[in-house]
Amino acid sequence: MTTPEEFTTNVMTTLKYLDTILPSGSHVVFIGLLHGHLIYDLMNEKPYPYFDITYGELWEILTLAGESNTSSLNPWYNHHNTPLHSTTQHEPNTFCVVGDG
């Protein structure tokens, strides 16, 4: 999982890059992320629009294919309770650092 320090570094790197390409006086708005546990609960049984499977089945396939190592969101899109709960508990530690800068 992303540490608060890594998250801060990534945000600051992105903001510094945006500062080089956006017009002077531009504003950047941060919005909160929808709670991943909620996404899973709401979307797990919904049909995925491009295949004859549900979102839950798609997320399981991506996890089995190793895609869970490439996305910080995948622990939330998991029917196993341990990754869901550990990611949910870790979330406030990461996202609250934006206000610290």
pLDDT score recorded for residue 70: 46
Give exposure, 60-88, as e/b (b: 16+ Cβ within 10 Å): bebbeeeebeeebebbbbbeeeebbeebe
pLDDT digits (tens, 9 = 90+) for 44-74: 899 999 999 998 888 888 777 665 454 555 5
Q: Say what the pTM is.
A: 0.47
Q: Of 27, 18, 35, whose CA–CA distance to 95 is shortest?
A: 35
Q: Is the pLDDT of residue 25 over 60?
A: yes
Integer Cα distance of 48 and 8 in angstroms: 34
